[in-house]
Amino acid sequence: MKTTISVIKADIGSVSGHCFSHPALMEKCDEVLEKALDESIINDYYISRCGDDVDLIMTHTKGELNEEVHKVAYDAFLQASEIAREMKLYGAGQDLLNDTFSGNIKGMGPGIAEMEFEERPSDPVIVYCCDKTEPGAFNLPLFKMFADPFNTAGLVIDPKLHDGFKFEVYDVIENKKVVLSCPEEMYDLLALIGSTGRYIIKRIFNKKGEIAASVTTESLTLKNGKYVGKDDPAVIVRAQSGFPAAGECVEPFAFPHMVTGWMRGSHNGPLMPVSEEYANPVRFDGPPRVIGLAFQIADAQLVGPLDIFDDPAFDETRKMSSKAATYIRRHGPFEPHRLPVEEMEYTSLPGVMKKLEPRFEDIDD
């Protein structure tokens, strides 16, 4: 029987603006998922959070886009939203667009990453969850894990990885997708995924077609074909035995690369890897954070997790990201800290332009 991992996440309200999901919300989600466990809808679960986003990590045997499993996540978020409203938490129910469930949770607000696979004799899986950034934030680390031999030694020295991987890339503006194969089409892949606001890695497969990684790409703000907002993402990655080693899946995060999001979803800043405990984006609502949770999957049960970035080996990365945050922050309202106008979640520009319109004159020299 195949095992499915479903990571479904949502921001349902937080303390101190957009900083911290209150434990009462996590407790309510726990209650709903515990009931689903009793009713054998799911086989196991782990609830985490990064900043103001609650991440439900569930294992089951019902396949992807399963109505019952999605309904569990939806009910958990709905009931937790009610508590958030009672507590007057900030942005209560922020990511729940509808209050009636119809089939699956797609398009209803929460982000979804799922994968179904035949368990190997031992099956390590890592889940990364972010706050204050967008799904394209994973383009760089996923490329490094699955296509960069300077990151993943196995691509060169492990016969099981030597053939490379296939990347399914979404164009979130045109609503199209394309599959590119590495190493053969590496430069074409990079030509696309360097544009992190438009071309987003959705899934990665090995050359036998087995799933290797799956990213949440549902966007709250990709409405009417317009991508204006940032959707805090999560990714599921499989490690070892034919996939990159766990350490090769962790190594890309040692570099705190620049991602889009941060304050008001309108700024670039470094991605800081932190433990679950420190997943609180307090400085200028950031800097953007990522947590990593490593599990072993055994008969659809989650063994673990190991809190990956709760490790002094990442102290230097955190320092570097603090330095980079200070550096880029000093640009204040200037690009490239502030996003270009068409990518900002908030903008006063139309109002400013309207006010100044009568004062604009032709340049005739």
Tell me the window of 51-59, 112-120, 162-170, 327-335 that interacts with Mg ion (CB under 5 A): 51-59
Cβ 202 to Mg ion shortest distance, Å: 20
Smallest separation (angstroms) from Mg ion to the CB of 109: 12
**Environment class of 311 (CB within 10 Å of its CB; exposed 0-12, middle 13-18, buried 19+):** middle
Instruction: Kindly state the smallest distance separating residue 234's Cβ from Mg ion, in Å.
Output: 11
Reply yes or no on whether 11 is catalytic. Answer: yes
Q: Is 337 in the site for Mg ion (CB under 5 A)?
A: no
Amino acid at 209: G
Cβ distance to ligand 13P smaller for residue 232 or 248: 232
Q: Indicate which residue of 9, 144, 202, 230 is catalytic.
A: 230
Instruction: Reply yes or no on whether 132 is catalytic.
Output: no
For the question of residue 230 being annotated catalytic, the response is: yes
- 91 lies in the site for Mg ion, by CB under 5 A: yes
Q: Is residue 148 a contact residue for Mg ion (CB under 5 A)? A: no
What distance in Å separates the CA atoms of residue 30 and residue 20, rounded to the nearest whole number?
A: 17
Contact residue for Mg ion among 44, 53, 55, 134 (CB under 5 A): 53
11 near Mg ion (CB under 5 A): yes
For 59, counting Cβ atoms within 10 Å of its Cβ (0-12 exposed, 13-18 middle, 19+ buried), the class is buried
- Binding partner of 218, given Mg ion, ligand 13P, none, CB within 5-8 angstroms per partner class: none
Phi/psi region, residue 105 (left: phi>0; alpha: psi -120 to 50; beta: rest), is alpha
Task: Tell which residue, 333, 236, 223, 231, has the closest CA to residue 293.
Answer: 236
Nearest to 218 by CA among 106, 130, 129: 106
Which does residue 263 bind out of ligand 13P, Mg ion, none, counting CB within 5 to 8 angstroms by kind? Answer: ligand 13P
> Which of ligand 13P, Mg ion, none does 257 bind, CB closer than 5 to 8 A by kind?
none
Which positions lie near ligand 13P, rule CB under 6 A? 11, 18, 51-52, 91, 131-132, 230, 232, 263-265, 285
Q: 98 by DSSP, 3-state: which?
A: coil
Q: Are 225 and 175 in contact (CB under 8 A)?
A: yes
What angle, 0 to 180 degrees and rounded to 10, lies between the N-to-C axes of helices 67-86 and 23-38?
Answer: 150
Q: Just list the catalytic residues.
A: 11, 227, 230
User: By the criterion CB under 5 A, which residues form the site for Mg ion?
Assistant: 11, 18, 51-53, 91, 131, 232
